[in-house]
Amino acid sequence: MNSWPLALAGWDSRSSWGYDEGVGSFYALLTRNGDEDVEGSVLWLTPPTTPVIHSPEDLAALIATRTETLFADVLAAMRV
């Protein structure tokens, strides 16, 4: 499993994204800055909760939707 930081404003403290070779999908682990480690504060974007994510751009689009952020800002935060 490869993982990289997600430098998205408001989500950059503990969020990351990567590729899970075992699942064959990109994924994101999103935690809004200031949220505690309590149930519901972490958002996993990965199968089986989402369909297989085939590209960083597809992942960026999903992150943008879930975080209500501009797609271009998410791409910049992913540095792709």
Predicted confidence at residue 34, as pLDDT, reads 83
Predicted confidence at residue 30, as pLDDT, reads 94
Q: In which domain, by residue range, is 52 found?
A: 2-78
DSSP code for 63: H
- Number of domains present in the structure of the chain: 1
Please determine, for residue 11, whether its predicted confidence score (pLDDT) is greater than 90. Answer: yes
Is the bond preceding 56 in cis, omega lying within 30 degrees of 0?
Answer: no
Length of the chain in terms of residues written? 80
12-55 pLDDT, tens digit each: 988 999 999 999 999 999 999 887 666 556 889 999 999 999 99
Predicted confidence at residue 41, as pLDDT, reads 65
Q: pTM here?
A: 0.89
Mean pLDDT of 2-9: 95
